[in-house]
Structure 1
Amino acid sequence: MRLLFTSLGAHGHTLPLLPLTTAARATGHEVEFATGPALHPTLREAGVEPLTAGTSIREGMISTAHGLFGTAPGEPGFPREQNCPASSRRPSAGPCRTVFSPT
């Protein structure tokens, strides 16, 4: 049987699936794993053939920042802190701030 595993391109999403991929391959299944390119070396080391799917978390964050602010971390004009609208503030938490760190 051919099996396709998928996850976000992050270690915390990919690594927990490796024991399942290894067990499936050991029982004779053909296994491939689709995730972001940053995890391909890790998958190859585990003996799993990687496929590219989606973008990296960093690329997704940059795309979101461009949509929200018109710029991204490390680019001119990117705000270090952006106040949240008053409607999103939680009374017990004080002011709401979204903080991005450059690269």
Structure 2
Amino acid sequence: MGKQVYRFDKDGYFREPVIIAPDADGKYTIPDDCTDVELPQPCFEPRFNREKGAWEDITREEWLAKQPPQPRQKTETEILTEKIEVMQKALDNLILGGDA
């Protein structure tokens, strides 16, 4: 049976969970870039502090502030309204023979 540990990069940021196997004596050797300290929940940008032996994290608000703004998607009504306007202009051009 294995043991789950948590790998972090050179700056301490979480990278991935890892399953390690016991040695012949049944003992687990945790790699230098891993810890068996569980991640905080919820976690947004967890970073392991080796000196404290604990995970540190940012708040949800801090994480959201770092995210690029997402463009608002048009509603179905807005899309249909635009299509109707384009069709109306095309009809006006056909019927009136130019810009109306």
User: Which structure features the higher share of helix residues?
Assistant: 1
Structure of larger gyration radius: 2
Q: What range is the shorter-chain TM-score in?
A: under 0.3
Q: Structure 1 length as normaliser, TM-score?
A: 0.24
